[in-house]
Amino acid sequence: MNETLVTVVGNVATEPEMRTTEAGVGFTRFRLATTARRWDAQRGSWADGPTSFYTVRAWRTLAGHVKESVGLGEPLVVQGRLKIRDDERDGRRYTDAEIEAVAVGHDLARGVSRFSRSSL
Amino acid sequence: MNETLVTVVGNVATEPEMRTTEAGVGFTRFRLATTARRWDAQRGSWADGPTSFYTVRAWRTLAGHVKESVGLGEPLVVQGRLKIRDDERDGRRYTDAEIEAVAVGHDLARGVSRFSRSSL
Amino acid sequence: MNETLVTVVGNVATEPEMRTTEAGVGFTRFRLATTARRWDAQRGSWADGPTSFYTVRAWRTLAGHVKESVGLGEPLVVQGRLKIRDDERDGRRYTDAEIEAVAVGHDLARGVSRFSRSSL
Amino acid sequence: MNETLVTVVGNVATEPEMRTTEAGVGFTRFRLATTARRWDAQRGSWADGPTSFYTVRAWRTLAGHVKESVGLGEPLVVQGRLKIRDDERDGRRYTDAEIEAVAVGHDLARGVSRFSRSSL
């Protein structure tokens, strides 16, 4: 309820890293960059907007498949739950836009992919 | 292209303020807070997650209608283009999640509203 | 999991009707029409696309508030779970796009609204 | 404006077919099936809901990459513009839910993929 579901189409901005929580649950984390292009009706051309960065976390089975499949710079479609986190460290406030991934795929608008279904 | 469209259901966290850009375009700005509630299958109950805050900007006609209709604490549905902005001021980095509103409405899950179509 | 969440901005195409299921749960049903307008870069102008119709159902508290607040022709923002239903009646196949509403609000891009929080 | 953007996570239900319009533009078409699973709090278990079917169309570069990469039964994430089309043929009314794809990717929640960026 009141979850904010978002789909971001962008590029992998940091090498995906896989870790394990203290409870033994695996997750993979990477940064995703997206730059909106909008039609500028006055100029009659497309224009790039500013780039937005998200921290994406994938869990369990998805975490392993992302680690195995996704490399730096690759184009992705990511759907997940969006959270804007505010933290304070050393007296400074940090804000981060996080996506807890539900589905992740290579964006076929930018290339081709070969898929193998997991046997699990 | 590559725009990130998002719909957030939440509450107005700051009194909406209306301003005008140097080019003479009116906009209304407010903060929106949303708290996800998720079903905790292990406990068998709903649990509140952390609260996410967004800066919402509405432009032109929508700006005026939001200023006239929306007050602090009211529940809203906001659809718009999401941008994660990184700025630096005084040597510090600031991150903000902004929504450029496309549609805004009072959430009828929380109360009733009476609507009057604009004559313009 | 795998729910398809959608937000539709459109107009109420049939008078909302409230009913009660055999189990005694109240719901309100109406049709919602939306017409996309896209920038036609070749012509340099906006063009209307075809109109899409959805059947929207709201349940429980939201059902009562929608019935009390929403009239034919009014502009709405509707967020909910999308289902494409295929039925057969009298040897014919019927397809319907249904939205089980999560949040519904009058679209302030088209007018102003006065909100009263429900006391329940 | 007023476009309805949707993201569907599902499985390819018909073999993707590539064609060319009279104007010489290539597109690929396939059916996508999605079945929502929801947590049933009363039973304490997940339950399958009904299956929804969409007709997905991809255009130009995306069309070719989808044709080359995607096979029957594979799991996908599809983002695009949703249209509910009503047609009449032979005195019967047909309704179809169409997605004009913006981004398509194999869902890494279900397997692994190897991506090659298009050289074009």
Of D4, D8, D97, the CB nearest to C34: D4
Segment D78-103 shows an average pLDDT of 92
Q: Which conformational region is residue C61 in: left (phi greater than 0), alpha (psi within -120 to 50 degrees), or beta?
A: alpha
Give yes or no for C20 touching B (CB within 8 A).
no
Interval C59-114: pLDDT, tens: 999 999 999 999 999 999 999 999 999 888 888 788 999 999 999 999 999 999 99
Q: Which two tokens stand for residue B78?
A: 């906001």
CB D71 within 8 A of CB D14: no
> How close does chain D come to B81, measured CA to CA in Å?
12
pLDDT of A102 strictly over 80: yes
Interval D26-53: pLDDT, tens: 999 999 999 988 777 788 888 888 999 9
pLDDT of A16 strictly over 90: yes
Mutate to test the interface with C, among A5, A6, A43 (most CBs of C within 10 A): A5
Give yes or no for C112 touching D (CB within 8 A).
no
CB D4 within 8 A of CB C6: yes
Return the closest-CA partner of residue A120 out of A59, A67, A61, A58. A61
Residue of C nearest to B61 (CA): C109
Using 50 as the pLDDT threshold, list the residues of chain B that sit under it: none
Question: Considering only CB atoms, which chain D residues are within 8 Å of A102?
Answer: 9, 109
For residue D63, what pLDDT band results from cuts at 50, 70 and 90? very high
CB contact under 8 Å between D107 and A110, yes or no, is no
> How close does chain D come to C10, measured CA to CA in Å?
7
CB contact under 8 Å between B111 and C105, yes or no, is no
CB contact under 8 Å between D104 and A108, yes or no, is yes
CB C48 within 8 A of CB C37: yes
Name residues 62-101 of chain C within 8 A of D (Cβ).
Answer: 81-86, 92, 94-97
Question: Considering only CB atoms, which chain C residues are within 8 Å of A44?
Answer: 41, 44
The yes/no answer to whether this complex scores an ipTM above 0.90 is yes
d(CA C57, CA B119): 30
**Which pLDDT belongs to residue C1?**
61
**Which pLDDT belongs to residue A75?**
98
d(CA C44, CA C40): 6
Other beta carbons within 10 Å of C15: 12
d(CA C32, CA C55): 6
Segment C38-65 shows an average pLDDT of 90
**Which pLDDT belongs to residue B120?**
52
User: Hey, which chains touch D, using 3+ CB pairs under 8 Å?
Assistant: A, B, C
Q: Quick one: what percent of chain D has pLDDT higher than 70?
A: 98
